[in-house]
Amino acid sequence: MDEWRRIRLALIIILDGVLIASQQIHRPTLRYVQMLDDVDAFLEFPWGRESFLHTVRCMKPPKFEKGKTVDSPVDMLVLKLKQETFRLTGFPLALQLLSFRAIPMLLSKISAPLNDQTIMDLTESNLPNHPSIELDAVLQVEVNPSVSI
């Protein structure tokens, strides 16, 4: 495989598999593949905005849902938030990082030890598991009087 083809393949994997992920099994989006005809234009495209819009779009309640009568979009959102699971697509890590920057106290609630190891330092083929932040920890931070948002 020639070098430019490998670069294009890597770009589409990063884009459709990380920045604008929408499926567990990654399938390239035809529009994005076609954009790779001009790699310079592809690299200049505002992918951060595209990823953000994709992520936010999946969080918005639909205007209607088949078979259910809901009085307002707010009621629909409340119903969706009461679900045990929620499929979030796009690049939600950016929202998490924004939360940590805006509310530094959240970082103290992560039980994983902080270290300076980067992905380049890993010797194993898998990423290490880190516990996620628990809902109770978020709620504790939310009611803390020293936190203002």
Residue pLDDT, tens place only, 6-28: 999 999 999 988 888 877 777 88
Give the count of alpha carbons within 13 A of 116, CB side only: 0
Q: Are residues 5 and 75 in the same domain?
A: yes
Q: Are residues 12 and 66 in the same domain?
A: yes
Asked whether residue 96 is domain-assigned, the answer is no
Q: Are residues 10 and 40 in the same domain?
A: yes
Residue 1, helix vs strand vs coil: coil
Query: In this predicted structure, what is the pLDDT of residue 149?
Result: 67
| Tokens standing for residue 148 | 């203002």
Q: Are residues 49 and 119 in the same domain?
A: no
Asked whether residue 98 is domain-assigned, the answer is no
Residue 54 has pLDDT above 80, yes or no: yes
Banded model confidence at residue 112, pLDDT cuts 50, 70, 90: low
Query: In this predicted structure, what is the pLDDT of residue 43?
Result: 95
Q: At what angle do helices 93-102 and 47-59 cross, to 10 degrees?
A: 90
Mean pLDDT of the chain: 83
Give this prediction's pTM: 0.62
Asked whether residue 97 is domain-assigned, the answer is no
Asked whether residue 26 is domain-assigned, the answer is yes
Q: How many domains does the chain have?
A: 2
Q: Are residues 108 and 140 in the same domain?
A: yes
Residue 25, helix vs strand vs coil: coil
Q: Are residues 66 and 107 in the same domain?
A: no
Output the 3-class SS for 3-46. Answer: HHHHHHHHHHHHHHHHHCECCCCCCCCHHHHHHCCCHHHHHHCC
Residue with tokens 């099994």: 25
Residue 66 has pLDDT above 70, yes or no: no
Q: Are residues 18 and 72 in the same domain?
A: yes
| Parent domain of 65 | 1-91
Of 97 and 40, the one with more pLDDT: 40
- Say which DSSP state 17 is in: I
Q: Are residues 128 and 87 in the same domain?
A: no
Residue 59 has pLDDT above 80, yes or no: no
